[in-house]
């Protein structure tokens, strides 16, 4: 470990997935002796205060951000981490103000925001001392504008995301499917992405006519009941803000990760939900696109599929074979444990955040 340092985390705010999945790494840095101070966007980068309206909310957001930048200027921080962007807009004035007061500025990007604001992201990447990219595809896009970069993927806290097969309550039973008679398929994600499930719902509905299935959807309450199923009692909606996500995932038998194959955004996704499923010991059925292809080997930790018939066949095979679910689920947990946990990545993250000079990553 390096000498204890003061680190500022200038981030997108509460509920933003990229913040949720970087926070355990930052907490672990604090355990190592570093001081980390969070500067969240209020309200978060994508929201506004309904009573004030969007325009007034943005004005107040900018004022709060400027106050935070002044605080950082007076805080004697060794390093400042800029997560994605100060605001969700094509304006980078705040980022340049942050650059002027930061001794070392590290840009942490784990999403394809550059597809929306390409010129802004080019400028931000170029002015930072170092860039942390969430996967190889993002790194390849960023590298022409700043070759000093590290690839640090989305991680889960291994203390929280235990494999269902190692859990005391499930080790003897193997799966709760045997207790309820229904195989539990599941998905976790933001309300805005629930629409992705509609494309594969017909496959799940058809299977539910043949065998007992339950489809658990863990998301914000605002999205509950936004999708109907023809099969009675197929869907179970779970409030992501009021549940223990890791515990809910351990109750499942199969995770699913649909993505649109014809959308460029899918190429750059860091696929946190896949990593959550795999860490929990679940076999996963996923669209054969982007980072999904890196995370799983088809037929080993799960299945990669391209059309509705393949979705149905893969889910059907797993639903009908408890031994296969366990074999794939155990392999998935081993895969994630090797590369995608806080314990495995905290040293890399510490080096990237605190490196004192520009250095080209391999």
For residue 79, the surrounding DSSP H or E stretch is strand 79-83
- Domain co-membership, 148 together with 196: no
Q: What are phi and psi of 346, to 5 degrees?
A: -65, -35
Q: Which residues, 6+ apart, have CB-to-CB distance to 168 below 8 Å?
A: none
Residue 248 has a pLDDT of: 97
Is 209 a member of any domain? Answer: yes
Residue 262 has a pLDDT of: 86
Q: Could you give the CA distance from residue 332 to residue 353 in angstroms, rounded to a whole number?
A: 29
Is 178 a member of any domain? Answer: yes
- Domain co-membership, 124 together with 234: no
Query: Cβ-count burial of 62 within 10 angstroms (0-12 exposed, 13-18 middle, 19+ buried)?
Result: middle
Residue 167 — pLDDT band, cuts 50, 70, 90?
low
Q: Which range of residues forms the domain containing residue 58? A: 6-155+342-354
Is 48 a member of any domain? Answer: yes
- Domain co-membership, 100 together with 239: no
Short-list 270, 282, 268, CA closest to 331: 282
- Domain co-membership, 150 together with 283: no
Is 161 a member of any domain? Answer: no
Residue 361 — pLDDT band, cuts 50, 70, 90?
very low
Q: Contact 244/353 with Cβ under 8 angstroms?
A: no
Q: Which range, of 77-86, 231-240, 291-300, averages the lowest pLDDT?
A: 231-240
- Domain co-membership, 20 together with 150: yes
Residue 362 — pLDDT band, cuts 50, 70, 90?
very low
- Domain co-membership, 149 together with 188: no
Residue 266 has a pLDDT of: 94
pLDDT tens digit sequence for 277-321: 999 999 999 999 999 999 999 999 999 999 999 999 999 999 999
Beta bridge partners of 83: 108
Which CA distances in Å does 4 have to 11, 30, 34?
21, 9, 5
Q: Is the dihedral of CA 343, 325, 181, 172 positive or negative?
A: negative
Q: Contact 290/271 with Cβ under 8 angstroms?
A: yes
Is 163 a member of any domain? Answer: no
- Domain co-membership, 348 together with 231: no
- Residue 259, sorted as left (phi over 0), alpha (psi -120 to 50) or beta, turns out to be beta
CATH number at residue 201: 3.40.50.2000
- Domain co-membership, 332 together with 316: yes
Residue 2 — pLDDT band, cuts 50, 70, 90?
low
**Residue scoring higher pLDDT (3 or 284):** 284
Residue 175 — pLDDT band, cuts 50, 70, 90?
very low
What 8-state DSSP symbol labels residue 249? Answer: H
- Domain co-membership, 218 together with 350: no
User: How many domains does one find in the chain?
Assistant: 2
Residue 357 has a pLDDT of: 40
- Domain co-membership, 46 together with 134: yes
- The mean pLDDT value for 4-23 works out to 96
Q: What is the pTM of this model?
A: 0.92
Alpha helices by DSSP H, listed for the chain, are 17-31, 53-73, 93-101, 118-127, 136-142, 168-171, 177-180, 201-208, 245-250, 264-268, 272-279, 292-295, 308-319, 322-339, 342-354
Q: Could you give the CA distance from residue 137 to residue 338 in angstroms, rounded to a whole number?
A: 21
**Residue scoring higher pLDDT (1 or 306):** 306
Q: Which two tokens stand for residue 300?
A: 């080993």
- The mean pLDDT value for 114-135 works out to 98
Residue 166 has a pLDDT of: 87
- Domain co-membership, 238 together with 150: no
């Amino acid at each position: 470990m390096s000498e204890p340092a003061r680190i500022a985390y200038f981030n997108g705010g509460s509920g933003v997935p990229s913040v949720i999945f970087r926070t355990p790494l930052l907490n672990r840095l604090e355990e190592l002796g570093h001081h980390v101070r969070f500067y969240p966007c209020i309200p978060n980068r994508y929201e506004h205060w309904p009573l004030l309206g969007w325009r007034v909310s943005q004005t107040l957001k900018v004022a709060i951000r400027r106050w935070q930048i002044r605080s950082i200027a007076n805080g004697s921080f060794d390093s400042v981490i800029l997560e994605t962007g100060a605001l969700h807009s094509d304006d980078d004035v705040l980022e340049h103000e942050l650059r002027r007061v930061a001794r070392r500025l590290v840009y942490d990007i784990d999403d394809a925001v550059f597809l929306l604001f390409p010129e802004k992201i080019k400028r931000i990447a170029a002015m930072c001392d170092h860039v942390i990219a969430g996967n190889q595809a993002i790194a390849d896009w960023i590298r022409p504008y700043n070759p000093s970069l590290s690839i640090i993927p989305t991680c889960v806290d291994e203390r929280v995301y235990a494999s269902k097969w190692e859990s005391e309550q499930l080790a003897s039973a193997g799966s709760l499917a045997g207790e309820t008679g229904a195989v539990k398929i599941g998905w976790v994600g933001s309300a805005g992405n629930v629409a992705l499930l509609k494309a594969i719902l017909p496959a799940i509905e058809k299977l539910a006519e043949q065998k007992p299935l339950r489809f658990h959807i863990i998301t914000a309450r605002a999205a509950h009941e936004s999708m109907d199923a023809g099969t009675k009692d197929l869907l179970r909606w779970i409030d992501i803000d009021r549940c223990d996500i890791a515990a809910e995932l351990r109750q499942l038998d199969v995770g699913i990760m649909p993505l649109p194959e014809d959308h460029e955004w899918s190429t750059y996704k860091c696929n946190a939900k896949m990593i959550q499923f795999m860490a929990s010991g679940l076999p996963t059925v996923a669209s054969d696109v982007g980072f999904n292809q890196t995370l799983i080997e088809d037929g080993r930790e799960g299945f990669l599929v391209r059309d509705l018939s393949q979705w149905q066949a893969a889910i059907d095979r797993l639903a009908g074979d408890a031994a296969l679910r366990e074999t794939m689920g155990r392999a998935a947990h081993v895969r994630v444990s090797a590369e995608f946990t806080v314990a495995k990545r905290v040293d890399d993250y510490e080096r990237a955040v605190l490196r004192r000079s520009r250095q080209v990553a391999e």
